């Protein structure tokens, strides 16, 4: 009889240890998942922020602002910027003048569930047009963001950082470019420790004289 009770106790203790180990393993798996999701969304947002800043800091570089405006008005729809075209002047390897147009197009990429709410998400397409035929074309795809943007907005600002309603026809007032976006996590995780969205915003000073002869 004692032998039976000893075996029964051993089974109970063994079962409890197994459940404890299973719980620990599950928690470790959840921690790894949290770290992976956080890393992915931060890296993707960081990569997007880097190339946006690189592009927008070149807006109007080498261009004579007194004779032409190096951008079109941002096109907004449903609270987000869906199209923005701008250009800068450069030189090729042979030293010849070169005009480079950049076009951003925001495309619908479905919906994501964030905190039980269905949110529209978008993919930002980057295209370039180089040469005398631009901006008519041809446009070449030159990068895109993940289809995880829940918000994307570009504004052209005056010296007091106020958005200008019609910047193309008021180019003399434009001093800064502001870009903001929100990127959702690549997939939904229930735990509160996981980032659901990353927010980014930056205001970039436009240097009207960069790249021009005699400019700073």
What is the predicted pLDDT for the residue at 106? 98
Residue 179 neighbours by CB under 8 Å, 6+ apart: 52, 53, 56, 153, 154, 200, 201, 202, 204
pLDDT of residue 95: 82
Number of C-beta neighbours around residue 93 at 10 A: 6
The DSSP result for 113-157, as a single string, is: EETTEEEEEEEEEEEEEESTTTTTS--EEEEE--TTEEEEEEEEE
206-210: Cβ within 8 A, 24+ apart: 206/59, 206/60, 206/174, 206/175, 206/176, 206/177, 207/61, 208/60, 208/65, 210/61, 210/62
pTM over 0.75: yes
Any idea what DSSP says for residue 163?
Answer: B
Q: What is the mean pLDDT of the chain?
A: 85
Cα separation, 67 vs 163, in Å, equals 23
* Residues 70-85, mean pLDDT to the nearest whole number: 97
* pLDDT per residue as tens digits for the range 97-154: 899 999 999 999 999 887 778 889 999 999 999 988 898 889 999 999 999 999 999 9
Report residue 216's pLDDT band, with 50, 70 and 90 as the boundaries.
very low
The two three-digit tokens of residue 145, written as one number: 């963001």
Q: Where are the domains of the chain?
A: 43-205
Q: Cα–Cα distances in Å, from 162 out to 127, 156, 179? A: 28, 8, 13
């Amino acid at each position: 009889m004692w032998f039976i009770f000893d075996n029964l106790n051993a089974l109970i203790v063994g079962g409890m240890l197994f459940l404890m180990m299973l719980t620990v393993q599950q928690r470790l798996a959840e921690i790894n998942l949290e770290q992976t999701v956080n890393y992915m969304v931060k890296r993707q947002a960081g990569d997007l922020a880097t190339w946006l800043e690189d592009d927008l800091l070149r807006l109007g570089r080498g261009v004579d602002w007194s004779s032409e405006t190096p951008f079109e008005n941002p096109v907004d729809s449903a609270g987000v910027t869906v199209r923005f075209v701008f250009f800068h002047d450069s030189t090729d390897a042979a030293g010849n003048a070169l005009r480079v147009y950049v076009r951003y197009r925001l495309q619908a990429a479905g919906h994501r569930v964030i905190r039980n709410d269905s949110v529209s998400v978008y993919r930002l397409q980057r295209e370039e047009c180089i040469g005398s035929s631009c901006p008519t074309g041809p446009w070449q795809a030159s990068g895109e963001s993940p289809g995880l943007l829940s918000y994307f907005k570009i504004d052209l600002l005056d010296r007091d950082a106020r958005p200008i309603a019609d910047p193309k026809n008021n180019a003399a007032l434009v001093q800064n470019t502001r870009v903001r976006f929100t990127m959702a996590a690549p997939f939904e995780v229930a735990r509160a420790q996981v980032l659901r969205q990353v927010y980014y915003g930056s205001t970039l000073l436009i240097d009207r004289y960069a790249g021009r002869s005699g400019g700073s």
